[in-house]
Structure 1
Amino acid sequence: MYKITGHHHISMITKNVSQNNHFYRDVLGLRRVKVTVNQDDPSMYHLFFGDKTGSPGTELSFFEIPLVGHTHRGTNAITKIGLLVPSEASLSYWKARFAEHGVDHGEVTTYANHPALHFEDAEGLRMVLLVSNGAKVEHWETWEKSDVPAEHQIQGMGSVEMTVRRLDKLASTLTGMFGYAEVSRNDDEAIFQSIQGEVYGEIVVKYLDGPSEKPGRGSIHHLAIRVKSDSELSFWDEQVRARGFHSSGIVDRFYFKSLYFRESNGILFEIATDGPGFTADGDNIETLGEKLVLPPFLEDRRGEIEEKLKPIEEY
C-alpha cells in the first residue's frame, strides 16, 4: 500500500502579484523559486515560494487574478495554512517582526496542540506559525540570502485547516482512501496525519454549517499532497476513480505530474509527484525565481505571454 508522504504545495489567489511578492519574499523571508504562468491560462502569473530549492512540502503557490473580488468566508473550503518554525523563541521573533512590518497578527497561543502565532497577509489569507519541535520536512534547506535568520526561518508547511459541512465524508476519504490516521476528534473538529506523529502532513478538519465560501483574493484554491513517483500517481488515479470521484487524469505540469479531484464537500485536492522539480527547465539553483520561466510547450508563445503580463514591481 502506497503512503501519502505529506503536503506537496498549496495554491492561493492573489489580486496583486507585486504586493504578494513583497510579502512572501521580503517579509516572510521565503525564496521565490519560480516565476511562471498558469499553464491553463498563460495570461496569469503563477509564483512559487519555498525553501532554497522549492522542495515539496515547502511550496506556497499563487495565481494572480487582477480583477478578483473579496473572499466571502464560509464553509466547504480550505481555511488556514500552518507554517513550521523551529522553536517557541521563533514565535517571539516573528511576533516582533510582524509588528515591525505592520502585519495583522495575534498573540502567542496554541493551535492543534502546537504552540502557535496566527497572522494574515494583506489580502486576508489566514495562516498560523507552528513550532515544529524538529518536525520539518526532511529535505528542507536554509535559504542563505533570506532576511530572516536561519534559526527562525519557516521550514515548510504544517497543519492545513479545512472547514466543511460533512466532516465524516472528508474523514472517510482521508482515512479510507489515503490511509491518514485520525489522531484526535471532538464534536466539531478532527485531526488527521498522513504520517502518524508528523505535523508536515497534518490536516485539521472543522465542522461548520452554513453557506459555502465564495473564493476571492486571499482564498485557498487547492491543497496538493505528495507522492514519490509516476507509478504511485497512477495508483492513486485508480483509487480516486474507484471511489466514484471524478479525476482530471494525470496532467504533466513539467515540474511535477499531478491529478485533481474534488471530495464530497467540494474541497479540491491535487496529488503531485516529488519530481522532477524546479530545475527541470534548465534554471539553476543559484538563479531560481529571478526571471520568467515557461515550460517548453509554452516557450514559442513567450512574446505573446510577456506582452500580457505586467512587470512585478520591487518594493
Structure 2
Amino acid sequence: MTTELLGIHHVTAMTDNAMRNYDFMTDVLGMRLVKKTVNQDDIQTYHTFFADDVGSPGTDMTFFDFPNNPKGIRGTNSISRTGLRVPDDAALEYYLERFKEFGVKNEGIKELFGKKVLPFEESDGQRYQLFSDENNEGVAPGTPWKNGPVPEDKAIYGLGPIEITVSYYDDFKQVLTSIYDMKPVIEEDDVTVFDVGDGGNGGQVILRKDETKQGQQGYGEVHHVSFRVADHNAIKAWEEKYNELGVGHSGNVDRFYFEALYARVGHILIELSTDGPGFMGDEPYETLGESLALPPMLEPKREQIEAQVRHFDTTR
C-alpha cells in the first residue's frame, strides 16, 4: 500500500453569499459549477464545487456558505492564498483585462519564483492568484469548461500552488517533509516551496513564516486544503501511518464523491482525498450543478433540506 500524495485535490473556503460567489466563480473566473450540494456535517448549509469541465481531481475550489458566519481576520497560522492555473502568460493578460471589466481588485501581473502570477481578491476578501503554466512541468492540468464564458485557451483549468503562513515555520516545515514527504525545491529567507507528487503548479505548497497577529477563520478565508491520494487502499494506509505517528485524525469518511481523511497540523486542517469516484456519476454532463445534488445517505432528507437551504438558481 502506498501513501504517496499525487498533488493538490481541492481547497475549501468560506463565502458570505453563495449566490454572489456562484456568479463570481462562473461568470467572472469561468470555472464550472460541477456540484451544488450541502455540507454533509451541517446539512442546512450549501457546499458548492467549482472545477474544470468534468470535475477532475486537482481542479476543485469549493465553498461553505455558513449563515451568520463572521468575517475572517487575516493573519498568520492560516491558508493565506489559493492558486489557480491558466495555460500561459497570454491568459494572464486576458484575465487582467477581464478583471478591469468586472471591477475585480488585483495587484497586476507579477513574477513569483520565476513564474508569472496575477494576485486578486473576491469582494468578500478571499485571496487568490493566477499562475501561468507557460514552461510549467509536473502534475497535469484539467480540461477547461467547454461552454463557459472564457475562451478555452485562456480559461482556468486547475488549482495552483497553495500558500500557507505560519508562526511555527521550522516545525511545520519538518511536518511537511517527514510526514507528507513533500520535497523542498526553493528555499529563501522565511519561505520554502515544496513539490507534492509530480510537482509543478498543480502540486506545490508555498510555506511562509509570519510571526504577526493570529488569523481567524470566517468568510473570506480558507477552511482547509486537500491533497490527492489514489484510492481507498491509500486512505487506509494513511490511517495506519497516522496511528503509528500518533497523529490525531478523523478516520476514513465516505463523502460519496470521494473518500476523505482529516488531520489538524497546528492550526491547519489537512485533508487527504481519493481521486474517485468523482462528480460525474449522479448528474448528466449537460446539467452538472444545476440542481441540488444529494449523496444517497442524505436523499431521504431531501424535503427537509430543501425547506431549510436558501434556494438560488444555477441553471444556465
Quote the residue 1:164 is aligned against. Answer: 166
Q: Distance in 1 between matches of 2:246 and 2:172?
A: 14
Letter in 2 for 1:201: G
Q: Distance in 2 between matches of 1:47 and 1:147?
A: 19
Q: Distance in 1 between matches of 2:274 and 2:198?
A: 21
Secondary structure at the aligned position of 2:108 is classed as: strand
CA RMSD of aligned residues (A): 1.6
Quote the residue 1:10 is aligned against. Answer: 11
Quote the residue 2:55 is aligned against. Answer: 54
Instruction: Name the stretch that deviates more: 180-189 or 92-101.
Output: 180-189
Quote the residue 2:260 is aligned against. Answer: 258
Q: Distance in 2 between matches of 1:196 and 1:31?
A: 25
Does residue 300 of structure 1 match 2:300? yes
Instruction: Name the stretch that deviates more: 98-107 or 138-147.
Output: 138-147
Q: Distance in 2 between matches of 1:167 and 1:227?
A: 25
Secondary structure at the aligned position of 1:8 is classed as: strand
Q: Distance in 1 between matches of 2:214 and 2:247?
A: 20
Taking the TM superposition and a 5 Å limit, the aligned residue runs for 1:159-238 are 159-195=161-197, 197-238=199-240
Matched-pair identity in %: 38
**Contact 1:136/1:155 (<8 A) preserved:** no
**Contact 1:183/1:192 (<8 A) preserved:** yes
Q: Distance in 2 between matches of 1:127 and 1:91?
A: 13
Does residue 32 of structure 1 match 2:33? yes
Among 138, 142, 145, which residue is 1:143 paired with?
145
TM-score after normalising by structure 1: 0.96
Among 222, 233, 240, which residue is 2:242 paired with?
240
CA apart distance, 1:245: 1.6
Quote the residue 1:97 is aligned against. Answer: 98
CA apart distance, 1:211: 3.1
**Contact 1:191/1:204 (<8 A) preserved:** yes
Number of aligned positions between the proteins = 313
Secondary structure at the aligned position of 1:221 is classed as: strand
CA deviations over 1:123-161 (Å, ceiling 9, x no partner): 111100111125485361221111000110112011100
Quote the residue 1:113 is aligned against. Answer: 114
Letter in 2 for 1:15: D
Quote the residue 1:249 is aligned against. Answer: 251
Q: Distance in 1 between matches of 2:241 and 2:113?
A: 29
Secondary structure at the aligned position of 1:138 is classed as: coil
**Contact 2:139/2:203 (<8 A) preserved:** no
Structure 1 runs (4+) deviating above 6 angstroms are none
Secondary structure at the aligned position of 2:120 is classed as: strand
Q: Distance in 1 between matches of 2:198 and 2:146?
A: 31
Letter in 2 for 1:266: H
Q: Distance in 2 between matches of 1:112 and 1:306?
A: 46
Secondary structure at the aligned position of 1:19 is classed as: helix
**Contact 1:257/1:272 (<8 A) preserved:** yes
**Contact 2:139/2:198 (<8 A) preserved:** no
**Contact 1:135/1:200 (<8 A) preserved:** no
Secondary structure at the aligned position of 1:151 is classed as: coil
Taking the TM superposition and a 5 Å limit, the aligned residue runs for 1:117-128 are 117-128=118-129
**Contact 2:138/2:199 (<8 A) preserved:** no
**Contact 2:140/2:202 (<8 A) preserved:** no
Secondary structure at the aligned position of 2:211 is classed as: coil
Q: Distance in 2 between matches of 1:190 and 1:257?
A: 29
**Contact 1:137/1:155 (<8 A) preserved:** no
Q: Distance in 2 between matches of 1:39 and 1:287?
A: 22
Secondary structure at the aligned position of 2:234 is classed as: helix
Q: Distance in 2 between matches of 1:293 and 1:92?
A: 36
**Contact 2:139/2:201 (<8 A) preserved:** no
CA deviations over 1:84-140 (Å, ceiling 9, x no partner): 111111111000000000100111101233101110001111100111125485361
Secondary structure at the aligned position of 1:106 is classed as: coil
CA deviations over 1:10-58 (Å, ceiling 9, x no partner): 0000110000000001110010000000001100000000001111000
CA apart distance, 1:83: 0.7
CA apart distance, 1:214: 0.9
TM-score after normalising by structure 2: 0.95
CA deviations over 1:222-268 (Å, ceiling 9, x no partner): 000000111011111122232222110000000000110011x2210
